[in-house]
């Protein structure tokens, strides 16, 4: 079953490309948000594709490998038709062998390339856990700094719509304890493109989470010079009553709840974490000290999840600034059901966010 190709959320429109005559020399660029210039509106898969294209054109060391990333264009079309522009060696179709091509990606990064490794589904990357944990995250340290591993590990994950337990994994909880890797979860077309560009340019190994249900989210996207800091959270909505910390698709679940809460007179602050490791404690601390209450909303499992780690950090470092215990809304600790009603019952819904805000704020 794992070999089956995922059906794209929408069929992209084919584009004609002019081959690049020369790639720009990579300069030392620190991932920061540049001044906004021109912007355009597109879906998230398109923004990721555009960011990938721009970085491959900018730096000839950037390449991508994974199952069906070349001729097929990736399971959700993030690399659609790019093999025609850059060739089959820079858009490398691999066998169905995650531990093999993940190890090849680590080796490529060690020897001068900047590989992007796509998991057709992030759940499949459990087969490459050894390469990610013992090689990707540790080689810079175990080599005494002789090697860097500038690679991006990315792909679709999260709870989709009736994809079943094995295709509904949330691997951020698995990977957060690995030393030496950064975790980034994107949520909008704009931050997806800007963060992917920053991740490709980073000298650190980045695990880049894209939610399977967000590829068709449409929004504005910055120009090719816009690059976003990988370690910075985003204040989605300023407020004074309670701080709600979320990431990925839960940003939209929370904002749906906020639309109702506003009608009732509540004024919550919403923070999209984006960086799951390390946490942006500057933004988190500022928000908690302002509202003195916090709710963490995640799609991850409650046991050992991102929310558990964040709750521990807040309690350890901001306990005296809290007027209420930290509340976590997480997925149930059960395998995700294929049945729609049971699947919905295992993950956080807007109504649960509304009820929790009423309870915490009063």
Q: What residues are labeled active site? A: 98, 167
How is residue 197 written in tokens? 């560009």
How is residue 67 written in tokens? 């199952």
| Rounded distance between C-alpha atoms, residue 170 and residue 58, angstroms | 32
Q: Cis (ω within 30 of 0) for the bond into 336?
A: no
Q: Are 197 and 29 in contact (CB under 8 A)?
A: no
How is residue 346 written in tokens? 């295992």
* DSSP category for residue 65: E
| Strands 40-43 and 62-66, bridge-based pairing | unpaired
Q: Are 208 and 65 in contact (CB under 8 A)?
A: no
Nearest to 222 by CA among 42, 5, 10: 42
| Rounded distance between C-alpha atoms, residue 296 and residue 299, angstroms | 10
Q: Which phi and psi (to 5°) does residue 256 adopt?
A: -65, -40
CB burial readout 245-281, b (16+ within 10 A) else e: bbbbbbbbbbbebbeebeeeebebbbbbbbbbbebbb
Q: Are 9 and 215 in contact (CB under 8 A)?
A: yes
Length of the chain: 362
Q: Which phi and psi (to 5°) does residue 43 adopt?
A: -80, 165
| Rounded distance between C-alpha atoms, residue 323 and residue 191, angstroms | 33
| Rounded distance between C-alpha atoms, residue 287 and residue 240, angstroms | 9
């Amino acid at each position: 079953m794992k070999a089956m190709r995922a059906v794209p959320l929408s069929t992209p429109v084919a584009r004609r490309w002019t081959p690049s005559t020369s790639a720009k020399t990579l300069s030392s660029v620190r991932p920061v948000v540049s001044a906004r210039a021109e912007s355009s509106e597109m879906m998230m898969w398109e923004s990721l594709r555009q960011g990938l294209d721009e970085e491959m054109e900018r730096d000839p060391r950037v390449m991508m490998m994974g199952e069906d990333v070349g001729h097929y264009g990736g399971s959700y079309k993030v690399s659609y038709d790019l093999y025609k522009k850059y060739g089959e060696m820079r858009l490398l179709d691999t066998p169905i062998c995650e531990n093999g091509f993940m190890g090849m990606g680590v080796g490529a990064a060690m020897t001068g390339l900047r590989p992007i490794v796509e998991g057709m589904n992030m759940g499949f990357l459990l087969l490459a856990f050894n390469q990610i944990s013992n090689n990707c995250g540790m080689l810079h340290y175990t080599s005494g700094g002789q090697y860097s591993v500038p690679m991006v590990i990315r792909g679709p994950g999260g709870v989709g719509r009736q994809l079943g337990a094995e295709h509904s994994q949330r691997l951020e909880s698995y990977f957060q304890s690995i030393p030496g890797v950064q975790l980034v979860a994107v949520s909008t077309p704009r931050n997806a493109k800007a963060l992917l560009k920053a991740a490709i340019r980073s000298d650190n190994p980045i695990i880049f989470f894209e939610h399977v249900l967000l590829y068709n989210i449409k929004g504005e996207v910055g120009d090719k010079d816009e690059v976003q800091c990988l370690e910075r959270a985003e204040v989605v909505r300023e407020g004074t009553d309670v701080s709600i910390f979320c990431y990925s698709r839960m940003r939209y679940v929370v904002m749906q709840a906020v639309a109702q809460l506003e009608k009732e007179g509540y004024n919550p602050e919403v923070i999209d974490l984006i960086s799951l490791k390390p946490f942006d404690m500057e933004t988190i601390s500022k928000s908690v000290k302002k509202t003195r209450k916090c709710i963490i909303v995640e799609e991850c499992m409650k046991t050992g999840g991102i929310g558990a780690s964040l709750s521990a950090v807040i309690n350890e470092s901001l306990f005296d600034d809290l007027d209420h215990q930290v509340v976590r809304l997480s997925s149930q600790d059960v395998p995700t059901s294929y049945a729609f009603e049971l699947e919905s019952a295992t993950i956080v819904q807007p109504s649960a966010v509304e009820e929790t805000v009423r309870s915490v704020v009063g």
